[in-house]
Structure 1
Amino acid sequence: MTLIIDASVALKWVLSEDGTDRARSLLLSEALEAPDLMWIECANVLWVKARRGQIMAEDARAAYAAIAATPIRALDVETLVRDALDIGPRCL
């Protein structure tokens, strides 16, 4: 089964917070996919946490490297948006 994840899930793999155990269990899934903006969102959250002193800069880099090393297929956001705009009116 393919699961679509977002940055909040990926960040739970590397940060200890509510839902971390459940998010980490998703790493055992057959296939993971995410919108291609997810990596930018993850990097931004990690950088903000480092800037605020919540994590060390080197920990932010290591956390991002761990996320980047996971086998996640990137989904083109532009295609997803076009598909959503096509599907949306049918749901009204």
Structure 2
Amino acid sequence: MTAGESFVVDTSVAIKWIVDEEGSDKAELLQGADMVAPALFRIEAGNVLRTLAAKQIPPDERAIDLFLFLQTAPVTIIDADELLERRALELALEIDHPIYDCVYLALAERMDRQLVTADRRFLNILSKTPYAQRVIDLSHLGGHPTT
């Protein structure tokens, strides 16, 4: 990615910055881009870390350190207002998908940016909708899909 590119990023991307897993190399390509996310972003990341810590990936004490590190990530947090929340619900009802993910899509729409995600389920659902052009599969960043 080059400086000046702008994206909405979701938690599936952020976790790859702090936990070494498939796609972490692709997530690093976003460094230098202008990234935004809804306020829900950090709460969701904390929940993912809690789930991983229950499996000892990472251990509990490391999960807190990773969460604190993530709070300093270069992502501008955008508070959701009533219109964004309403649009997220409209999208959730339209595509029959959880509103949590649709908040990111609604923010991408509002800001006229693309949403970068590694969430396979969300990508599969969006691929069958008019919103497919609004989303980028993290595995395709850099031109070569991760297998």
Question: Is TM > 0.5 for Structure 1 vs Structure 2?
Answer: yes
1:63 equivalent in alignment to 2:66: yes
Q: Can you give the 5+ residue segments of structure 2 that lack an aligned partner in the other structure?
A: 95-129, 131-147
Instruction: Report the number of matched residues.
Output: 87
Q: Could you tell me the percent identity over the aligned residues?
A: 31
Letter matched to residue 73 of structure 1: T
Q: Which whole-Å CA distance do the structure 2 matches of 1:24 and 1:68 have between them?
A: 16
Deviation at 1:36, TM superposition (A): 1.0
Aligned twin of 2:79? 76
Identify, as 1 or 2, the structure richer in helix. 1
TM-score normalised according to structure 2 size: 0.52
Deviation at 1:47, TM superposition (A): 1.1
TM-score normalised according to structure 1 size: 0.79
Q: Can you give the 5+ residue segments of structure 1 that lack an aligned partner in the other structure?
A: none
Aligned twin of 2:12? 8
Deviations along 1:28-83, one digit per CA (max 9) or x if unpaired, are 21x11011101001001101111222221121111111211112111233442334
Q: Which whole-Å CA distance do the structure 2 matches of 1:83 and 1:73 have between them?
A: 20
Q: Which whole-Å CA distance do the structure 2 matches of 1:67 and 1:27 have between them?
A: 14
